[in-house]
Structure 1
């Protein structure tokens, strides 16, 4: 072993790393991003769950109770509706995750203390919401001597997952995670592989336009994505009895739009990378914030506002709302159209950026 030769190889590798700007950026960027995401954006102490209020009592006492619950900051009482049916529609559309119902005979219930004074309806498909609802099982109520009494008990109604089974929430989310992980990486290396294998020269010599070349790289992977969706749905139903309460056509249409969005992102990344290794690095770099900020692993409501703004730019965030809404709550695309529209805009933006960067030249 020659120390001189060993040092020469080490110096050569360091110089090559310095010239590889993408790898150097990943060395610095991934630790920084993980530190920021886990230290700042990821928060298991859930606050500000979107909630609807149905005040059927309409008394000063009921309004006082509602104000006290809102002051706890656990629920964000964003909607005031007249009937439980209206609150249920908001739950099904995913606009709220909880609904607080104050019955018309509130005063009688408080006086007799023989029935639940309030009803808290929760989206049981989300286990974090379930746990938060259990924390809110006792609310303070103003008595003559101040805040001395508590409403006990509060009836918690668990919609969509009465058995409180974890796969009900996890399996639909895994569809989005699997599609993101595989399709972005597949297409991210598509153009790079053609360049490395010398096939790009043949494509340049053809009369293909930039749009035709871009779409030609995307379309074949659509079938792969749909096969993956079908496989997860079948296994989820057979192994974990995960229901599909909504329309199967709506589910596949939402999956199709999400698949195209991922492929568009992947083909855009392939225009940035110079090697297949760099393409895989970029795919991982985009996958990490999606799985952490989309609401798959950590509660969306527990994130700071800035982190939620970033999450709204990520396709997985919107697909999770779509797939869970259709599969678990039986919602239709007409109710979930904002998320579908967001995926469409993201797809057009990525395809436009790809075409603008794609040149039928080797340099």
Structure 2
């Protein structure tokens, strides 16, 4: 891999996204609007202070997964990836370039979502807001890399959506969003320990409530980063030039 090729891919992807206002709105605004909807639903209660951090993990993760996987698959179906890979551009350059491009968008998306949740929706944060933003960004980048990985195996946009029950839904159900993970049946709790979204939710809850120190949050963050790196490597290995 060469940095110049990776950055060229990053610039090309960002340029394409910039010329698609609907995608920009979906990436940057929809997660915040959904968080606002949840806050509105529980406006007369204190429930949002409990579920708000999990919503910050959930909505950006899902949006980044969908947008990244469908965008990558569309480029492969139209032959763009085949033309790019016929040039001196490696698969690693391509996957890392996509990761950086959507990672930059994830920084904006997560920052907007956290600030919206805190300033507009009134989410109480006992810990550092900047640490909350850092974990939220890592969570959104995780959705990006898992989306890239899913696109390597899908042949159509519909198949990408079919990957959600396999990759996304189990993480939502076991991630501590609906029930604290320590109250899950033992087998399900052990499984949830291996799911990256669980660690994102735990870290965001820890920062929001101030229940754990920074070392605990950084430990959870390191697990998320390990999943990101693993997804990038596996995506680079399994990426196909075009869809059969």
Q: TM-score range by the shorter chain?
A: 0.7 to 0.9
1:348 aligns with 2:229: yes
Q: Secondary structure at the match of 1:189?
A: helix
Residues 266-301 of structure 1 deviation map (CA, whole Å, 9 limit, x = unaligned): 111011101111112213432211111001012322
TM-score norm. by structure 1 comes to: 0.51
Residues 98-128 of structure 1 deviation map (CA, whole Å, 9 limit, x = unaligned): xxxxxxxxxxxxxxxxxxxxxxxxxxxxxxx
Separation (CA, whole Å) in 1 of partners of 2:204 and 2:109 = 14
The structure with more radius of gyration: 1
Match of 1:313 in 2: 194
Displacement after TM superposition at 1:356 (Å): 1.6
Q: Secondary structure at the match of 1:242?
A: coil
Match of 1:18 in 2: none
Match of 1:259 in 2: 140
- Of residues 187, 190, 205 in structure 1, which corresponds to 2:71? 190
- Of residues 203, 211, 233 in structure 1, which corresponds to 2:114? 233
Mean Cα deviation higher: 284-293 or 324-333: 324-333
- Map 1:161-310; keep pairs closer than 5 Å: 165-310=46-191
Match of 2:9 in 1: none
C-alpha root-mean-square deviation of aligned residues, in Å? 2.2
Residues 218-238 of structure 1 deviation map (CA, whole Å, 9 limit, x = unaligned): 222123322332333233224
The number of equivalent residue pairs is 201
The runs of at least 4 consecutive aligned structure 1 residues that moved more than 4 Å come to 359-363
Q: Where do 5+ consecutive residues of structure 2 fail to align? A: 1-44
Displacement after TM superposition at 1:360 (Å): 4.3
Mean Cα deviation higher: 309-318 or 250-259: 250-259
- Contact between 2:58 and 2:172, CA under 8 Å: does it hold in 1? yes
Displacement after TM superposition at 1:175 (Å): 0.8
Separation (CA, whole Å) in 2 of partners of 1:281 and 1:321 = 27
Pick closer, same or farther for the CA change 1:255–1:234 going to 2, 3 Å: closer
Separation (CA, whole Å) in 2 of partners of 1:181 and 1:216 = 20
Q: Where do 5+ consecutive residues of structure 1 fail to align? A: 1-163
Displacement after TM superposition at 1:170 (Å): 1.3
Separation (CA, whole Å) in 2 of partners of 1:362 and 1:232 = 35
Displacement after TM superposition at 1:244 (Å): 2.5
Q: Secondary structure at the match of 1:206?
A: coil
Match of 2:4 in 1: none
Pick closer, same or farther for the CA change 1:239–1:357 going to 2, 3 Å: same
Richer in helix (by share): 2
